[in-house]
A and B are shown apart, each in its own frame.
Chain A
Amino acid sequence: MSDLFEILFTAGFWAATIRIVSPLIFGTLGELICERAGVLNLGIEGIMTVGAMAGWMWVYQGGDLWTGVIFAACVGALFGLLHAIFTVHLCLSQHVTGIGITLFGSSLSYFIYRMLLPDATTPPKIEPFEPLLIPWFSDLPIVGEALFSQTALTYLALLTVPVVWYVLYRTPVGLAVRMSGENPVAVEAQGINVLAVRTGAVMVGSALMAIGGAFITMSWFDAFYFGMINGRGWICVALVIFASWQPGKALLGALLFAGLEAMQVRAQQSAGAIIPYQFFLMLPYIMSIVAMIVMARKTKYPQALLVPFRRGERV
């Protein structure tokens, strides 16, 4: 047990935590933006897969890394648009649409991957994002390696948290998004197009999810594997609930999970002989459920979450 405790003081553990937390941050914030506007986006698992494939494939086909990230974001936004057309504009079931998008997005990613690389037996690799050492800071003990020797995409993830917070709470468009998730009729009565606000929010949120996926293939690893998202999207959905729909708490929740996963990998090495590895792998899923239980009584749902808005409908 003391081994586990010592892990907490190793720079490697913290570096891994920060690496692992990045896709969770993108995914959780993306889902949070959608839900704040009143739309549950269960397409997240599929959209992350799409982003992982699209960004990686862009680079593999010769594109550079940053345009690859932008490409992944655009494809994610397109899937978000599809989700928005179904749920926001046609007012169809958000649950079923999301599951449909996940099935469609992930199968399409696999199809395209196989289509473009029919004969690849071992997954081909790309040159991923290199760690970007921040001068001076990266020399600090522990913190230097954990926080200031990460890739640019990780810095972007960490930066996204205050940006999303600022936009949601300090700008007019953020107020419109939050209000769309609380009472869409009130938004409409103030002359704002709720459908546009919700569509925009779902597209931006989905773009973030896709970047989260792209992070995994372009910064964390360097190849695309089947089933590589492996429920991370669903964990993000749970994290949003855990975070009570607040960006700051989302970061905290994501860090907790990433820390757990990083710890798990290390614990597996030391305790793997006694406890089978499958039980370590179960931990994030079980923790997600526990997290939702813990927060269940306290959270304040956006009141119009799952409630469609139909203009001109007789009430």
Chain B
Amino acid sequence: MVENYKGLGMVIEPRQSVSIWRAGLAPVWAILASMAICAVLIAWAGASVLNAYALLIKGAFGSSFAIKETLTRSIPLIFTGLAVSVAFRAKFYNIGAEGQLYAGALAATFFGTGLITLPPVLMIPLLIITGAIAGGALLIVPVLLKTHLKVDEVVTTLLLNFVVLLLVSYLIEGPWKDPMSLGWPQAASIIDEGVFPLLLEKGRLHLGLIIAILFAILVWLMMRFTVLGYEIRAVGYNAKAAEFAGINVNRTVIITALISGGLAGIAGVSETAGLKGYLTLDLSPGFGYTGIAVAMLAQLNPLAVIPAAIFLSAVYVGSDAMSRAVNIPTYIADVLVGVSVLAVLCSVMFSQYRIRWLK
């Protein structure tokens, strides 16, 4: 019970039982609250709120092209959302999914632009594995600093994002620059064998979606049924008790970090080899950071990451269409993502606690 606000005539106390639907509904409330807050900005911009949201939904789901686009944009978000949810489960605050995504893209570019040529059935898995290794490798320094020197991982992972982006910038302006790109800073194209095949004839929806869903299921199975998943959860809930029980806490955190970085790295492979075909500096408009919102909306549940990613992807795709139609800055989508992180924190809390008004 929290009696912080007795002066205001209320106490906050835990609910005796949290029903599954109440817990499941928490993100929905958060989304509604975020949309209500953004409605203020939309109204300020002089647009009709209902009309704007109708346009947003239409822009995201209104045509088969829109749906395909929304699903395509959700692919990297599923991967980064999974990366964040695994890490946060162990209370390892990996805010570096953005950098790990680019690390994966770098690996895909390094191996996929002609260094190795294999048939697609081998080439695509090879790119995924190397991307995952690169993404995980980027977390080795932050995680070892955390486990061995107790250096806060939030700051180190954040700072590495900037370092990796500068490295990418250097490579695609320098040694890896595609000579055919007419001065535009981009790397050479992924060879045909490495490009993810399209799922449908029209549009850009590619194999990445299937792989992303597959990984979501794998991660869910791992967290729920395996010894490793148990250890990750135990370390996250109570590291001291986990240590006492004989779980190697440092080892578990390190493995968690590698899995997390690996998943984010695959996002980079998927964007490079699946969507764009080559590495550029605008490969990710902040998918790594949006992954935090995805994971929070999913309440760190790997399966729930899929709908959460599709939702936020719809916000981005839909708001592009909306802002064109009613002249609202596209940053409205980023605002909604930011607000939703805060809103979901609140709504999850109030699914577990309630306010009791005193007579």
Residue ranges of A at the interface with B (Cβ–Cβ < 8 Å): 42, 46, 82, 86, 89-93, 95-97, 99-108, 110-111, 114-115, 118, 195, 230-231, 234-235, 237-238, 241, 276, 278-279, 281-282, 285-286, 288-289, 292-293, 296-297, 310-314
Q: Which residues of chain B come closer than 8 Å to A279, judged between CB atoms?
A: 166, 170
Of B3, B149, B159, which one neighbours A297 at CB under 8 angstroms? B149
Residue on A nearest B161 in the bound complex, by CB:
A231
Asked if B329 and A231 make an inter-chain contact with CB atoms under 8 angstroms apart, the answer reads: no
Residue on A nearest B332 in the bound complex, by CB:
A111
Residue on B nearest A100 in the bound complex, by CB:
B341
Residue on B nearest A286 in the bound complex, by CB:
B163
Q: Which residues of chain B come closer than 8 Å to A282, judged between CB atoms?
A: 162-163, 166-167
Of B1, B155, B332, which one neighbours A292 at CB under 8 angstroms? B155
Known A100-B338, A103-B334; judge A310-B159 contact (CB<8 A): no
Asked if B329 and A104 make an inter-chain contact with CB atoms under 8 angstroms apart, the answer reads: no
Asked if B145 and A293 make an inter-chain contact with CB atoms under 8 angstroms apart, the answer reads: yes
Known A231-B162, A293-B149, A297-B149; judge A103-B289 contact (CB<8 A): yes
B308-359: which residues lie under 8 A (CB-CB) from chain A?
327-329, 331-332, 334-335, 337-339, 341-342, 345-346, 349
Asked if A111 and B331 make an inter-chain contact with CB atoms under 8 angstroms apart, the answer reads: yes
Interface-central residue, A92, A235, A285, by most chain B CB under 10 Å: A285
Query: Does chain A have a CB within 8 A of B36?
Result: no
Please report the C-alpha to C-alpha distance between residue A195 and residue B7 in the assembled complex, in whole angstroms.
Answer: 13
Of A91, A276, A312, which one neighbours B1 at CB under 8 angstroms? A312
B200 to chain A minimum Cβ distance, whole angstroms, is: 32
The interface residues of chain A, by DSSP majority, are classed as helix
Asked if A285 and B349 make an inter-chain contact with CB atoms under 8 angstroms apart, the answer reads: no
Residue on B nearest A277 in the bound complex, by CB:
B170
Q: Which residues of chain B come closer than 8 Å to A238, judged between CB atoms?
A: 155, 159
Asked if B155 and A104 make an inter-chain contact with CB atoms under 8 angstroms apart, the answer reads: no
Please report the C-alpha to C-alpha distance between residue A111 and residue B330 in the assembled complex, in whole angstroms.
Answer: 8
Of B151, B329, B342, which one neighbours A114 at CB under 8 angstroms? B329
Asked if A312 and B346 make an inter-chain contact with CB atoms under 8 angstroms apart, the answer reads: no
Please report the C-alpha to C-alpha distance between residue A182 and residue B327 in the assembled complex, in whole angstroms.
Answer: 50
Q: Which residues of chain B come closer than 8 Å to A314, judged between CB atoms?
A: 1
Asked if B145 and A110 make an inter-chain contact with CB atoms under 8 angstroms apart, the answer reads: no
Please name 16 further chain A to chain B contacts, defined as beta carbons within 8 Å, in addition to the given A96-B345, A104-B335, A108-B335, sorted by A numbering. Answer: A86-B346, A89-B4, A92-B349, A103-B341, A104-B341, A107-B337, A118-B327, A231-B158, A231-B162, A241-B155, A278-B166, A281-B166, A292-B155, A292-B156, A296-B150, A310-B4
